[in-house]
Structure 1
Amino acid sequence: MITVADAVAAPELGLRVVSGHDRLDVPITSAHVSELVTPHEWLRGGELLMTVGLLLEMDEPSCIAYLENCQAGGVAAVALGLGAQLPYQDCPPPLRSAADLVGVPLLEVPGNVPFIAVTKWVFATMAEQERRDLEAAMSANRRLTQVATASTPLAALLDVWADISEADCVVTDGVGRVLARTPGTSEEVTREATDILHTAIEKSSGSLTGWSLHGRFEIHTVGDHVPLAYVILGAQLNPVARHSSTVLVSLLALEVERRHVATQPERQRRASVFGQLMRSAIKPAHAQQLAESVGWKSTFVQVAVIKPDPANTDALVYRLRTSLSPGLVRVHGGMVEIAHPESDQLIGTISALAPGLAVGVGTAVRVDALAVSATQARSLVLVSEQVGRVVSAAEGDTVQLLLGLAAPRVLRGFADSVLAPLDQLDGHERIDLLRTLEEWLRVNGAWDPAAARLSLHRNTVRNRIARISTLTGRHMDNGDDRMELWLALKARAAAPRG
Structure 2
Amino acid sequence: MRLRALLENDALGLRLLGGSDELDRGVRGVMTTDLKDPSRYLSGGELVLTGLAWRRVAEDSEPFVRILAGAQVAGLAAGEAELGAIPEDLVEACSRHRLPLFAVNESVAFATITEYVVRQVSGERAGDLAAVVDRHRRLMTSGPAGGGPDAVLDLLGSDLDLRAWVLSPTGRRIAGSTAGSAGSAAGLPAATAAALAGEHLAAVRAGRRAPHRVVADGATYSLFPIRNTGRGAVPPSHDVRESVLSDWLLAVEADAGDWPAARLDLLQGVTQLIAVERDRREAARTVRRRLAQEVLELVQTGAPPAEIAARLRVAAPVLLPGLGTAPHWQVVVARVEWGADSGVESGPVAQSLLEEMLVDPVANGPDTADRIAVAHNGEEAIALVPLPALAAPDAAEDADAAPADEGLHADALLESVRAPLSAGLADDGRLTLGVSAAVHSAEGLRGALEEARHARRVAAARPGRVCAAGHHELASHVLLLPFVPDDVRRAFTARLLDPLRDYDRRHRAELIPTLEAFLDSDGSWTRCAARLHLHVNTLRYRVGRIEQLTGRDLSRLEDKLDFFLALRMS
What aligned pairs does 1:193-204 form with structure 2 within 5 A after superposition? 194-200=193-199, 203=202
Query: What is the match of residue 305 of structure 2?
Result: 282
1:15-54 correspondence runs (5 A): 20=11, 28=30, 29-34=47-52, 49-50=78-79, 52=81
Name the residue aligned to 2:137.
145
Identity %: 14
**What secondary structure sits across from 1:309 in the alignment?**
strand
Q: 1:238 aligns with which of 251, 259, 264?
A: 259
Q: Conserved in 2, the CA contact under 8 Å of 1:45 and 1:73? A: no
SS of equivalent residue, structure 1 residue 198: helix
One-letter amino acid of the counterpart of residue 304, structure 2: A
Kindly tell me: are residues 178 and 208 of structure 1, through their superposed partners in 2, closer, same or farther at Cα, counting changes over 3 Å?
farther
Map of 1:67-466 to 2, 5 A cutoff? 73-74=101-102, 78=105, 105-106=108-109, 136-150=128-142, 151-181=146-176, 186=181, 188=186, 190-191=188-189, 194-200=193-199, 203=202, 211-215=210-214, 216-221=220-225, 222-223=227-228, 224=234, 225-226=242-243, 227-233=246-252, 234-236=254-256, 238-239=259-260, 240-276=262-298, 280-283=303-306, 286=310, 289-290=313-314, 292-293=316-317, 294-295=319-320, 299-309=327-337, 311=344, 312-324=346-358, 325=369, 326-341=371-386, 343-351=406-414, 357-369=431-443, 370-386=445-461, 390-395=468-473, 397-399=475-477, 446=521, 449=524
Q: Where in structure 2 are there 5+ consecutive unaligned residues?
A: 2-9, 15-27, 31-46, 86-99, 215-219, 229-233, 235-241, 339-343, 359-368, 388-405, 423-429, 484-516, 529-556, 562-570
Does the aligned pair in 2 maintain the 1:173–1:179 contact within 8 Å? Answer: yes
Q: Indicate the structure with greater helix content.
A: 1
Q: TM-score, normalised by structure 1?
A: 0.53
Shift of 1:155: 3.1
Checking the alignment, whether the CA contact within 8 Å between 2:414 and 2:468 is kept in structure 1 is yes
Structure 1 residue 208 displacement after superposition: 9.0
Question: Deviation string for 1:279-303 (max 9, x for gaps)?
Answer: 5412286366235322276753232
Map of 1:95 onto structure 2: none
Deviation at 1:366, TM superposition (A): 1.8
Amino acid in structure 2 at the alignment position of 1:367: S
Instruction: Provide the C-alpha distance between the structure 2 equivalents of 1:53 and 1:207, rounded to a whole number of angstroms.
Output: 46
Q: Cα–Cα, structure 1 residues 300 and 394, in superposed 2: closer, same or farther, change >3 Å?
A: farther
* CA deviation after TM superposition for structure 1 residue 32, in Å: 0.3
Secondary structure, aligned partner of 2:305: coil
How much does 1:175 deviate?
3.3
User: Aligned in 2, Cα 1:309/1:319: closer, same or farther, shift over 3 Å?
Assistant: same
Which segments of structure 1 move beyond 6 Å, counting only runs of 4 or more? 39-46, 132-135, 204-210, 450-453
SS at match of 2:188: helix
Q: How big is the shift at 1:152? A: 2.0
Alpha carbons of structure 1 residues 207 and 364: separation in structure 2 relative to 1, 3 Å: farther
> CA 1:208 to 1:174, structure 2 compared with 1: closer, same or farther past 3 Å?
farther
* 1:193 and 1:232 in contact (8 A); partners too: no
Structure 1 residues 359 and 257 mapped into 2: Cα distance closer, same or farther (>3 Å)?
closer
Give the counterpart letter for 1:231 in structure 2.
L
TM-score w.r.t. structure 2 length?
0.47
The CA deviation at 1:384 is 4.4
Give the Å deviation of 1:201.
5.6
**1:78/1:243 CA distance change after superposition, 3 Å:** farther
Q: Which has the higher contact order (CA 8 A, sep 6+)?
A: 2
